[in-house]
Structures are given as structure tokens and as C-alpha cells.
């Protein structure tokens, strides 16, 4: 009998970010816009909007749906990537799965499925994330192994994100509360300016909301932003994680609800189907750090990603950094020698203004970077980066397909 033929050699394929959308972000809690809206219905809105915006994509060509959630319980459980795919009307032949890397869930949904595209297992995928922190507070239903603390594997503060931010302040005392408040006020101002200029808004999908008290409504804009926030206002806020601390509700992202999603494809498939190419994946890196100072995670993650792909921080023309806490962003900027108000960083504001529904945020960063690339042919490379609970960091580097060669 003849020996079976060897499989054909595979060449890695270029992966592109086609488009991204998101729901408006809401405030978590009984008075938030999504208080009586299901988490999986937020995901369905995102998937349907991606398909609506790209009718040239036959639904059956979607090879996978990867949806992240940090708290995989209730209406965020039951393999939400698969159930949301079914609910959104995708063919039953389209599979799906759920993924969890805390705040970097959607980021990991992207990098995992993008790797499958590069390998040749997929041609087109939908990746995103959802978090309904009003229905499911972070940590709901979990049972951490007591040895994590008893065996002193981590400091007890590692399980409370606000306390980890205070720990970053301890490690870097030059990152003062005043600097954090100034950064936070600028984030609010930049976001408000971006909304007025129409930079924020085109990526939003309206969501019908229901309230037993108020009836039906329509969410069309983010709920958390506080335009007009000043440093003076922020200076008087309480420090809930430590007496006389430095982390406040004003210089950190809030508790939020929302969903994001994006289309990824092999570049050859995107061109075949006539799909737009928003940006091209260069590479990514995830790293672990001490859980009690998880906010420093983006620093080694970015160093690792840059080194792996032969780039330096000076090659990066646009940064989208998740603003879980102002101190964590400032630690990144200081490490790489960037000014607190560097115009390349979060030019449309960030999570301190618009919110951070945990697992969904990675794709918000990517969507904004993609739309910025379209306006900046002078910029070749950009990156998205975020700190991750339990001591990790993640960075994804992207190339601008509109780059004009530095003309």
C-alpha cells in the first residue's frame, strides 16, 4: 500500500481587521441603560450590525464566532459565541466559542482567531466581547482556591483591581494623584471633542432598551462620559480602595455594560469578497507580571511584541491604551519616554471617559485605531495594549494599509 501523501506545506497568511462596531456603553447598575437588557442580546446586535454593514459577505462564509466574557454565568454563559451566533441568524453550520482573559477577552478572541486565519483554518471570523457588569459583577460565582493567598502565591490585594492600582502608585511614587487627575480630565475632554467632531459615533450600533418603569428606549450614545470634568472636580473625590489613597472614580474606568465585535479575514479573502481592509495584523504578545501590580502589564507585553517583530517604540505612530486606571497608562508612558499628553496616545480619549466593560474593551481599542489609520496615511504602525487582571498584559501591533510610504 502506498504511503499517504504528506500534507501540503502551509505558508502563513496576512490577517486583516475588516471593521469593528460596538454598542453604546452603559453604566452598570439598576439605573443604567442596559439594566433590563440581556448581555447576549447586546452581542446579537453587534453581530447583526457587522453583517448589515457588509452585505458582500455571505453569512455562510463566517468560519467562527469567538465572544469573550469575564464572568461566564447567566446570560453571559453557555458558550456565548455559539448561542449568539444562532440568535443573530447566522447559519447553524457556523460554530462559536467563549473565551476569557479578563479585561483582554476580546483582544484574545481576536488574536486567537487571527492565528487560525494565518494558519489556514479560517478565512473569515467574528471576534468580540461582552460584559454586563450590572447583572454580573466581576467575580460573581467564583471560588478562588484558598492556596492562592494561604501559600502566598500572590498578595491578597491582587484580587481587587483598584487595590492593584494603588500598588502601582506605591511602586512609582512619582506617578502622583495630581498627574492621574490631569490625565483623566484630558481623557474626558478628548472624548467629548471626538464626539462633537463625529469621530466617535459611526462605530456605534443603536440598541433598543427596556425599562419596566420608563418603557422602551433607544441607546445611541455612551452613558459614562462626563464632559466638562476638571482637575479641581477630580481632586475632591473619595479614594475608596485606601484611606488617603490616589485611585478615585474619576481617574479610573467605571463599572460598565456593553459589547463589541469585529470582522477579521485573510487578506486574500477580503479582497476576493470586496471587504474593506482597516488594518493588517503585525503580531501580538501576552505576558505575566506580579498580580498585585497588574497595571504594569502593558510595558513588558509591548517590549516583547516590539522585539519579536523587529520594531521599536519610535516606529509606533498611534497608541490605543486601555485606561483601566490613569496610573497604569502613566506607568507605560513614563517607561517608554512618552509625555503625559503625547498626541499619538488615545487621541479620541479612552475608557476613563467612555467606560470599560471588561472583556469587550480590546475590540473598542482596535476599532478606534483602524478608523484613525484611515485618516493618517503618514502613520505606518499602531498598537493596542491593555493591562489584565491576575497579573498580565497584552499588546497587539497593527500596520496601516493606507500608509503612503512616508511621503
pLDDT tens per residue, range 299-325: 999 999 999 999 999 999 999 999 999
What average pLDDT score do residues 130-149 get?
A: 92
Confidence of residue 221 (pLDDT cuts 50, 70, 90): very high
d(CA 300, CA 394): 9
Q: Does residue 27 surpass a pLDDT of 80?
A: yes
Dihedral of CA atoms 390, 295, 31, 250 in degrees, nearest 10, equals 160
Radius of gyration of the CA atoms of the chain, in A: 21
Cα angle 169-172-173, degrees, rounded to a multiple of 5 = 75
Residue 166, SS3 per DSSP: helix
Region 206-234: mean pLDDT is 95
Task: Single out the catalytic residue among 103, 180, 262, 354.
Answer: 103
Exposed, middle or buried by CB within 10 Å (0-12, 13-18, 19+), for 73?
middle
Q: What is the pTM of this model?
A: 0.96
Residues 279, 53 contacting (CB under 8 angstroms): no
pLDDT for 11: 79
Question: 82: number of CA atoms within 13 Å, CB side?
Answer: 8
Check if 244 is active-site.
no
DSSP readout, 113-145? HHHHHHHTS-SEEEEEEEEETTTS-TTTT----
pLDDT, average across residues 102-106? 98
**pLDDT above 70: percentage of residues in the chain:** 98
The verdict on whether 103 is a catalytic residue reads yes
Confidence at residue 405, expressed as pLDDT on a 0 to 100 scale:
87
> pLDDT digits over 140-182, tens only?
998 989 998 889 889 999 989 999 999 999 999 999 999 999 9
Alpha carbon distances (Å) from 123 to 47, 242, 274, 354:
17, 49, 14, 32
pLDDT at 149: 82
Residue 9's pLDDT is what? 63
Band of pLDDT at residue 2, cut at 50, 70 and 90: low
Give the pLDDT of residue 191: 98
Tens-place pLDDT, residues 381-392: 999 999 999 999
Compute the average pLDDT of residues 344-359. 98
Place of cell 496616545: 345
pLDDT digits (tens, 9 = 90+) for 182-197: 999 999 999 999 999 9
Mean pLDDT for the chain overall: 96
- Assess whether pLDDT exceeds 80 at residue 254: yes
Which residue is catalytic, options 180, 262, 354, 387? 387
Residue 205 has pLDDT above 80, yes or no: yes
pLDDT of residue 84: 98
Domain ranges (residues) in the chain: 15-135+148-397
pLDDT level of residue 139 (50, 70, 90 thresholds): confident
- Reduced to 3 states (helix: H, G, I; strand: E, B; else coil), residue 395 is strand
CATH dotted code for 15-135+148-397 = 3.40.47.10
168-179 tens-digit pLDDT: 999 999 999 999
Q: Is 52 exposed, middle or buried (0-12, 13-18, 19+ CB in 10 A)?
A: exposed
Mean pLDDT of 9-26: 93
Active site annotation includes 354: no
Q: Of 89-93, 125-129, 152-156, 189-193, give the lowest mean pLDDT range.
A: 152-156
The one catalytic residue in 132, 136, 169, 356 is: 356
pLDDT in tens, 264-302: 999 999 999 999 999 999 999 999 999 999 999 999 999
Amino acid at each position: 500500500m502506498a504511503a499517504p501523501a504528506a500534507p501540503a506545506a502551509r505558508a502563513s497568511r496576512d490577517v486583516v481587521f475588516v471593521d469593528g462596531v460596538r454598542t453604546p456603553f452603559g453604566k452598570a447598575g439598576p439605573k443604567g441603560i442596559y439594566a433590563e437588557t440581556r448581555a447576549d442580546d447586546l452581542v446579537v446586535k453587534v453581530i447583526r450590525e457587522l453583517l448589515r454593514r457588509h452585505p458582500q459577505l455571505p453569512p455562510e462564509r463566517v468560519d467562527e464566532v469567538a465572544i469573550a466574557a469575564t464572568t461566564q454565568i447567566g446570560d453571559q454563559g453557555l458558550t456565548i459565541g455559539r448561542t449568539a451566533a444562532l440568535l443573530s441568524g447566522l447559519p447553524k453550520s457556523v460554530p462559536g466559542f467563549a473565551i476569557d482573559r479578563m479585561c483582554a477577552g476580546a483582544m484574545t478572541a481576536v488574536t486567537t482567531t487571527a492565528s487560525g486565519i494565518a494558519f489556514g483554518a479560517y478565512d473569515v471570523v467574528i471576534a468580540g466581547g461582552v460584559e454586563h457588569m450590572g447583572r454580573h459583577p466581576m467575580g460573581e460565582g467564583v471560588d478562588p482556591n484558598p492556596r492562592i493567598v494561604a501559600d502566598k502565591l500572590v498578595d491578597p490585594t491582587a484580587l481587587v483591581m483598584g487595590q492593584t492600582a494603588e500598588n502601582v502608585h506605591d511602586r512609582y511614587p512619582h506617578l502622583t494623584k495630581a498627574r492621574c487627575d490631569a490625565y483623566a480630565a484630558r481623557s474626558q475632554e478628548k472624548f467629548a471633542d471626538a464626539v462633537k467632531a463625529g469621530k466617535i459615533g459611526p462605530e456605534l450600533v443603536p440598541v433598543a432598551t427596556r425599562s419596566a418603569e420608563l418603557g422602551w428606549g433607544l441607546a445611541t450614545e455612551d452613558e459614562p462620559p462626563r464632559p466638562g470634568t476638571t482637575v479641581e472636580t477630580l481632586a475632591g473625590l473619595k479614594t475608596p480602595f485606601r484611606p488617603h489613597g490616589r485611585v478615585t472614580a474619576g481617574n479610573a474606568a467605571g463599572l460598565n455594560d456593553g459589547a463589541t465585535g469585529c470582522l477579521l479575514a485573510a487578506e486574500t479573502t477580503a479582497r476576493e469578497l470586496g471587504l474593506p481592509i482597516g488594518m493588517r495584523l503585525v503580531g501580538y504578545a501576552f505576558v505575566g507580571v506580579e498580580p498585585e501590580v497588574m497595571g504594569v502589564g502593558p510595558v513588558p507585553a509591548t517590549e516583547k511584541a516590539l522585539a519579536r517583530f523587529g520594531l521599536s517604540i519610535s516606529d509606533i505612530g498611534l497608541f490605543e491604551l486601555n485606561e483601566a486606571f490613569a496610573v497604569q497608562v502613566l506607568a507605560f508612558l513614563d517607561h517608554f519616554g512618552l509625555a503625559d499628553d503625547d498626541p499619538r496616545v488615545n487621541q479620541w480619549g479612552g475608557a476613563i471617559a467612555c467606560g470599560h466593560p471588561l472583556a469587550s474593551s480590546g475590540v473598542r481599542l482596535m476599532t478606534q485605531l483602524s478608523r484613525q489609520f484611515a485618516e493618517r496615511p503618514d502613520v505606518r504602525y499602531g498598537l493596542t495594549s491593555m493591562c489584565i487582571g491576575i497579573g498580565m498584559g497584552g499588546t497587539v501591533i497593527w500596520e496601516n494599509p493606507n500608509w503612503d510610504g512616508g511621503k
